[in-house]
Amino acid sequence: MISFLNPARLMHREILLRPLEEQDCVVMSDIHVTGFDPAWGPEDMMGLLRQSNVFGFLAVETGALIRHRPVGFVLVRHAADEAEILTIAVTSQTRGRGVGRKLMVETLRKLYADRIDRLILEVDENNQSALHLYRQLGFEQVGVRKGYYTHAEKRKGVSGGTALVMACNVR
Ligand SMILES: CC(C)(COP(=O)(O)OP(=O)(O)OC[C@H]1O[C@@H](n2cnc3c(N)ncnc32)[C@H](O)[C@@H]1OP(=O)(O)O)[C@@H](O)C(=O)NCCC(=O)NCCS
């Protein structure tokens, strides 16, 4: 009882990751809408999660005063020896606290264990936080897609249309 009144313990928070499940579709959509416009709805998420070659992780914040609050997720598809980040998002109020990095590192770990050779992704050329994260993890630019974000979702408040294709060797 006394330990629960300890301010340090009350403030303590941690981020836990677990594999995504179909029941997470609504939560995933709620997180996605904080980063993309238009965002993917629960049906889109369900359609992807039901594919046998799609997996992902949900990041959940937990602590003495917070019980399992979902704060981010990553969705990945693999085919043969290559995998692709379909999307990654962290809630606006949780960004910059290492959640995106945790999700990417866990993804790389799983791909390594699954003997996947390469991970690719597309990122808005103006998305500084994502570019910073990917470069730190060893991703390098391997292509450019002009006009990509006129056909796909774009980050909220960003009008840029060019996507960089980036790749990282997993093994
Ligand atoms: C991209 C995104 C997933 C990153 O998640 P995050 O939890 O904020 O990232 P992290 O806290 O793990 O930060 C990773 C690195 O990026 C850096 N970073 C974070 N925000 C940054 C910013 N605005 N500018 C520059 N670097 C930034 C961090 O400092 C950290 O580097 P460090 O370890 O050297 O400090 C998150 O910003 C997001 O959801 N954005 C909206 C959706 C999106 O753009 N998804 C990516 C599409 S490709």
For the chain, list the domains and their CATH numbers: 2-169 (3.40.630.30)
Averaged pLDDT score across all residues of the chain: 91
pTM, entire model: 0.91
Q: Phi/psi zone of residue 165: left (φ > 0), alpha (ψ -120 to 50 degrees), beta?
A: beta
Closest Cα partner for 22 from 59, 48, 41, 60? Answer: 48
Ligand 1 atom at minimal distance to the Cα of residue 85: 48
For residue 1, the CA-to-ligand 1 centroid distance in Å is: 38
Q: What is the largest CA-CA distance in the chain?
A: 59
Nearest CA to ligand 1 atom 10: 98
Ligand 1 neighbour 96 (Cβ under 6 A): yes
- pLDDT for 129-160, tens place per residue? 999 999 999 999 999 998 877 655 555 555 56
Nearest CA to ligand 1 atom 1: 130
For residue 119, the CA-to-ligand 1 centroid distance in Å is: 18
DSSP helix/strand/coil, 59? strand
- pLDDT for 99-128, tens place per residue? 999 999 999 999 999 999 999 999 999 999
Quick one: the chain helix, strand, coil %, rounded to 5?
35, 35, 30
Percent of the chain with pLDDT over 70: 90
E runs forming strands in 12-162: 13-19, 36-37, 54-63, 69-79, 82-90, 118-124, 140-145, 154-155
Sign of CA dihedral 41, 46, 48, 49: positive
